[in-house]
Amino acid sequence: MLDAWLCNPIVLVIFLVIGILALVYGADGLVEGASGLAKRLGMSDLIIGLTVVAFGTSMPEFVVNMVSISEGSTDLAITNVLGSNIINTLVILGMTALVYPVASQKRSRDFDIPLSIIAGVIVFATVKVTSPFGEESRGISRMGGIILLLMFIYFLYNTFRHAKDHPDEQQPDEVKPMSTGKSVLFIILGISGLVLGGELVVKSAVKVAHDMGVSEAVIGLTIVALGTSLPELATSVVAAFKKNSDIALGNVIGSNIFNVFFILGTSAVIRPLPAYNGIELDAWVATLGSILVWLFVKTNHERKVQRWAGALLLVVYGVYLTYRLMNV
């Protein structure tokens, strides 16, 4: 029934927009309900922020990947992650810095940003390494997925240890407790929105790719990646207007780490992800974004991504996108 509706171009666009909105609001509802329930059960704001909120904001990418794998659209699963990371770093941080210079914390400069660089390098490397499981020689194999998940466990361990050893550096949002019934309702509605949104986005994106005569990879890098990055975009820009831009940097880099280590790792373990044409370039640009941000915050005394640096990030994205679209 859904496939028949998608034959109408207008309906196709409407479904794609509805799917993206369902993903965004579904993730928001899930985070609010789960956070309220966790607070009612006695969890601290800090732990809630490091677990429920962190996982919840990455749910749009996660759900899209799970649906993509079930539909056999493995190109979409990879480009959803790499495209989101590219947009997070080059576009979202670039726009945020233009509004207000993005400050950085020592933790981000010394651990998070370097780890996001390593994440991109690992993706690039796994594409080049032949899997011992007899899977695709080029792509992210199950072994590659296991490596990514092990890195995610290390990231979680280090993050919790740092939060415990340096409680004064943490700035958790105040979470209000919520009644059990209301929490469960929010969680159910959130999950329902994510499932509906993921189904609509993946089917619509695949149909758009076929109708336009372009690869699913290109649609994943652009439309889908931008849609699933909307929560980070909204959070970062609002933080910049409130002059709390250090929050923006933490959100973006944290999301990039989650996307690669957890989402891409889980996806590859469930189903090996064969390489597509251009994967090396996409992995390299995702890595380059983190390298540029690290250089920006390490080479000036204020430890900020200044407005000129934000403009440069946007220029780099423009050049990359133009080249990518001209070589589909």
- The domain limits of the chain are 2-326
Architecture of the domain made up of 2-326: Up-down Bundle (1.20)
Q: pLDDT tens across 249-262, in order? A: 877 888 889 899 99
Report, as an integer, the average pLDDT of 6-25: 76
Q: Is 300 left (phi over 0), alpha (psi -120 to 50) or beta?
A: beta
Strands (E), the chain: 102-103, 139-140, 273-274, 304-305
For the entire predicted model, the pTM comes to 0.83
Strands (E), 10-155: 102-103, 139-140
Q: pLDDT tens across 208-245, in order? A: 777 777 777 788 788 788 877 777 777 777 777 776 66
Confidence of residue 125 (pLDDT cuts 50, 70, 90): confident
Q: pLDDT tens across 275-328, in order? A: 888 888 999 999 999 999 999 998 888 888 888 999 999 999 999 989 888 876
At residue 48's C-alpha, the angle toward residues 150 and 22, to 5°, is: 85
* Bridge partners for 103 per DSSP: 304
| Mean of all residue pLDDT scores within the chain | 80
